[in-house]
């Protein structure tokens, strides 16, 4: 049994809580949120505007602290997942062990890219490189989608360089009405705008897959949908396979070593059709195209629940 504590109860925190509660190999021991009551916890856990109702109760203990150093996590907790987005360095995250008797083997997982050299692990790509670090990052939802695709392409065909655009659903950091945000377009209302923004996914890929360091760049475009995102990937390949060869490669991998990591959609689907898909990445096979050595792939991902599922896969690898 893996005992889990979660700091923060936003989009990812709540979905992780649901996945832990329904998993017989895990126990949701503690939740920390500065102001959440027990009644609010049960209500928020049960209802969700995107992912529907969840009817499995939880007896998790609720803490109401602002800083990691003040949280009295239960001593038996094996994994603390920090989903707040406020603490992004090793020195900040290791403070989760300050006010408790967590075992030395307890691991702190950040559900975001770090702001220091904290190692990043994407299950299905580089999770086997984990070497008993006490604080790690599970990267971002976009890196989790992009990494297995470019890893396979680079191993089989060699990526010379590439560009990616993540067409990303709205997130909690955006605003319903225009708000002044110096030097950024993300302060404009999410309700009726397509908003170019930045993403650290390409930089993160270079850390998760060192062979691709400096070979990719990326940009984000925020669109007014509540969930499901799409990576538009363009790469120059050293070898020049046919379109169907690439699609068939990912079909075969999705059935074997990349099962639950990569999926392939051969149907003519739209974003809402992928709601709840637990894979890291779903290749939109009808959209794959090439022009000489330039290849374009469209890759869907549930940036909320798909990402949460992959964190759970990482947790299982670390502790089972």
CA distance 83 to 104: 21
| Coil/strand/helix, residue 173 | coil
What distances in angstroms separate CA 235 from CA 161, 275, 278, one per listed residue?
6, 27, 25
Q: Is 244 helix (H, G, I), strand (E, B) or coil?
A: helix
E strand or H helix at 161: strand 159-168
Residue 205: both structure tokens together: 């890929």
Which letter, b or e, does each residue of 169-186 get, where b requires 16 or more Cβ atoms within 10 Å of its Cβ?
A: bbbeebeeeeeeeeeeeb
176 vs 191, 199, 217, 221, 268, CA distance in Å?
A: 6, 21, 29, 17, 31
Do the Cβ atoms of 60 and 54 come closer than 8 Å?
no
Interatomic CA distance for residues 78 and 29, integer angstroms: 10
- Looking at the annotation, which residues are catalytic? 141
Q: Are 39 and 31 in contact (CB under 8 A)?
A: no
Asked whether the beta carbons of 191 and 222 are under 8 A apart, the reply is no
Residue 162 pairs with which residues in a beta bridge?
A: 216, 235
Q: How many other CB atoms sit within 10 Å of the CB of residue 38?
A: 12
């Amino acid at each position: 049994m893996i005992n889990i504590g979660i700091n923060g109860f936003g989009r990812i925190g709540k979905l992780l809580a649901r996945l832990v509660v329904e998993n017989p190999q895990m126990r949701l021991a503690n939740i920390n949120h500065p102001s959440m009551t027990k009644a609010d916890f049960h209500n928020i856990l049960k209802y969700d505007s995107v992912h529907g109702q969840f009817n499995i109760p939880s007896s998790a203990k609720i803490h109401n602290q602002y800083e990691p150093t003040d949280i009295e996590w239960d001593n038996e907790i094996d994994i603390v997942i920090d989903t707040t987005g406020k603490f992004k360095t090793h020195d900040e995250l290791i403070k989760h062990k300050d006010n408790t008797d967590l075992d030395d083997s307890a691991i702190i997982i950040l559900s975001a890219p770090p702001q220091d050299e904290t190692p990043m692990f994407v299950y299905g790509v580089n999770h086997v490189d984990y070497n008993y670090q006490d604080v790690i990052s599970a990267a971002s939802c976009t890196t989790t989608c992009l990494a297995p695709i470019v890893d396979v392409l680079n191993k089989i065909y060699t990526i010379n360089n590439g560009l990616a655009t993540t067409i990303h659903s709205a997130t909690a950091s955006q605003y319903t009405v225009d708000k002044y945000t110096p030097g950024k377009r993300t302060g404009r209302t999410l309700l009726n705008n397509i908003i170019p923004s930045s993403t650290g996914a390409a930089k993160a890929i270079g850390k998760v897959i060192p062979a691709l360091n400096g070979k990719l760049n990326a940009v984000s475009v925020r669109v007014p949908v509540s969930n499901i995102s799409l990576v538009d990937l363009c790469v120059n390949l050293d070898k020049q396979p046919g379109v169907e060869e690439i699609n068939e490669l990912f079909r075969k991998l999705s059935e074997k070593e990349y099962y639950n990591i990569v999926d392939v959609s051969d149907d003519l689907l739209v974003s809402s059709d992928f709601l709840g898909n637990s894979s890291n990445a779903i290749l939109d096979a009808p959209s794959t195209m090439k022009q000489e050595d330039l290849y374009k792939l469209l890759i869907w991902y549930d940036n909320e629940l798909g990402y949460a599922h992959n964190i759970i896969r990482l947790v299982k690898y670390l502790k089972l």
